[in-house]
Amino acid sequence: MAALTNDQILDAIASMTVLEASELVKAMEEKFGVTAAVAVAAGPAAPAAAAEEQTEFTVTLDEVGGNKIAVIKAVRAITGLGLGDAKALVEGAPKALKEGVSKADADKIIADIAAAGGKASAK
């Protein structure tokens, strides 16, 4: 029997249905005495560690407050949106204002919204 290349094996697996691939995994687990669960269990631990060292934040407009016009102006300055889009965003609060911003930028945006009479948060 000629040995199969890695590409041939991958092509064969790619042509399988999900059910067939699942059965193949079970058969490999039994034959080699391993479980795929170990790799799956290690997966969730990595995002938890990344969450502790978060460097990018999403700033959300939580509440408009009493001065809607000032908040709309602040949202326009922060996002660069036109008047209609900024008004729609403010009226649809809670909504995300900016995504992927640094901690310093998130703090500045929150302060700008608070100065306008609104309430924002970073996640």
Low-confidence ranges of the chain (pLDDT < 70): 1, 36-53
Starting at the edge strand found earlier in the chain, the sheet holding 57-63 runs 95-101, 57-63, 119-122
pLDDT in tens, 31-61: 888 776 644 444 555 555 554 667 888 888 8
- Type of residue at 37: A
Residue 100's region, left for phi above 0, alpha for psi from -120 to 50, else beta, is: left
**pLDDT at residue number 1:** 58
**pLDDT at residue number 32:** 83
Global pTM reads 0.54
**pLDDT at residue number 56:** 86
